[in-house]
Amino acid sequence: MIQAKGYAVQSAESKFEPFNFERRELGANDVLIEIQFCGICHSDIHQARNEWHNSIYPMVPGHEIVGRITQVGAEVSKFKESDIAGVGCFVDSCRVCENCKNDFEQFCQKHCAQTYNSTEMDEKTPTFGGYSNQIVVDEKYALKVSDTENLAGVAPLLCAGITTYSPLKKFNVGKGQKVGVVGLGGLGHMGVKLAASMGAEVTVFSTSPSKEQDARNLGAHNFVVTKEPENMKPLAGQYDFILDTVSANHDLNMYLNLLKLNGAMVIVGVPEKPAGIHAFALIGNNRTLAGSGIGGIAETQEMLDYCAANNITSDVEVIPIQQLEEAYERTVKADVRYRFVIDMQSLA
């Protein structure tokens, strides 16, 4: 076995502490990645704190991983030693079901082995995520990342990037469209950058008035403070597409009402409690309400290549791993600008 070290929580109430554990020996198709940066996704916080009521402890979170390959298995062909690679939200799937075959491995009909708070394909061996020094992963589930000086800014693309890119592509967001992004956090700020890069006119809907200038710098054309209902009224029926990235419970009807004829709203945020939706909020203007979950490997690679070609990275605050607790607190307070990323050198 390969000795690994990271930071883990032992229960929903406990704080992060150093944690030693084992990664599997390198198989013929595996690569060993020395993790350089790992983003902090709000999903890490939901799961570390058992807000989705499915947590497995001890838990080493982290699914926005980039690092350098230090070893390759005998049959690896996609990577060589010293390449840069990324790992996102899952590390394996059955590969043969309809969803896997159609490049939606995240919805594998047998078992999607998520990067942490999950199990390997044996459905027994726990998986541990990227708040750690190294990871072993099958090359099929690792992404190619071009070597850049800003790898910290690339890490969040592995979750925040793909989760926003995928629905924007699916709903053909582009020129001539009015797009709303609800919540300017890790996902939201990527949603703004990506939608703007695709040519849409972007409005940020935020509870934080202090984020207006940042929103405009990220590429937004308009900024609406949602705490004032008066601000929303004149916008009714104007939007083609809205991406809701909010992590806490909030009223969806208010945003559905902003959609024009045949407009669509996609939910990617996962608040703890279910939302109440009035049928008329959907019936009016024949609106669509949909969800979207991360993205498959092929689409994640497409997104990484798109971001590299268009010079898109995440705006990050890089922290040593010892500051996880503060980073969690600030993220929960919507005070992240706009993604915390752990510099894994601090683990040494």
In the bound complex, which residue of the shown chain has the CB atom lying closest to Zn ion?
41
The rounded distance, in Å, linking the Cα atoms of 132 and 25 is 16
The rounded distance, in Å, linking the Cα atoms of 150 and 341 is 12
The rounded distance, in Å, linking the Cα atoms of 334 and 87 is 25
The residues in 28-47 that bind Zn ion, with binding defined as CB under 5 A, are: 41, 43
> Which residue in the set 159, 173, 190, 342 belongs to the binding site for Zn ion (CB under 5 A)?
159
Burial class (CB within 10 angstroms; exposed 0-12, middle 13-18, buried 19+) of 285? middle
Angle at 148 between CA 143 and CA 154, to 5 degrees: 55
Map tokens 């979750």 to a residue.
Answer: 159
The rounded distance, in Å, linking the Cα atoms of 243 and 267 is 6
Q: Among Zn ion, ligand NAP, none, what does residue 185 contact (CB within 5–8 Å per kind)?
A: ligand NAP
**Beta carbon nearer to Zn ion, 83 or 317:** 317
Helix (H, G, I), strand (E, B) or coil at 7: strand
Pairing of strands 30-39, 339-343: antiparallel
Map tokens 């009015």 to a residue.
Answer: 178
Residues in the chain, overall count: 348
Q: Among ligand NAP, Zn ion, none, what does residue 301 contact (CB within 5–8 Å per kind)?
A: none
Letters for 9-48 (x = contact with ligand NAP by CB under 6 A, - = none) are: --------------------------------xxx--x--
For residue 299, count other CB atoms closer than 10 A to its CB.
Answer: 18
Q: How far is the CB of 227 from ligand NAP (least distance, A)?
A: 9
> Which residue in the set 114, 115, 117, 247 belongs to the binding site for ligand NAP (CB under 6 A)?
247
> Which residue in the set 138, 300, 331, 342 belongs to the binding site for ligand NAP (CB under 6 A)?
331
Map tokens 């708070």 to a residue.
Answer: 117
The rounded distance, in Å, linking the Cα atoms of 158 and 320 is 20
Residue 203 binds to ligand NAP (criterion: CB under 6 A): no
Letters for 215-234 (x = contact with ligand NAP by CB under 6 A, - = none) are: --------------------
Residue 293 binds to ligand NAP (criterion: CB under 6 A): yes
Q: Which helix or strand (DSSP H or E) is residue 305 part of?
A: helix 297-309
Q: How far is the CB of 85 from ligand NAP (least distance, A)?
A: 20
**Beta carbon nearer to ligand NAP, 136 or 161:** 161
Q: How far is the CB of 288 from ligand NAP (least distance, A)?
A: 17
Q: How far is the CB of 159 from Zn ion (least distance, A)?
A: 3
Q: How far is the CB of 247 from ligand NAP (least distance, A)?
A: 3
Q: Which residues bind ligand NAP (CB under 6 A)?
A: 41-43, 46, 159-160, 163, 183-188, 206-208, 211, 245-248, 250, 268-270, 292-294, 331, 334, 336
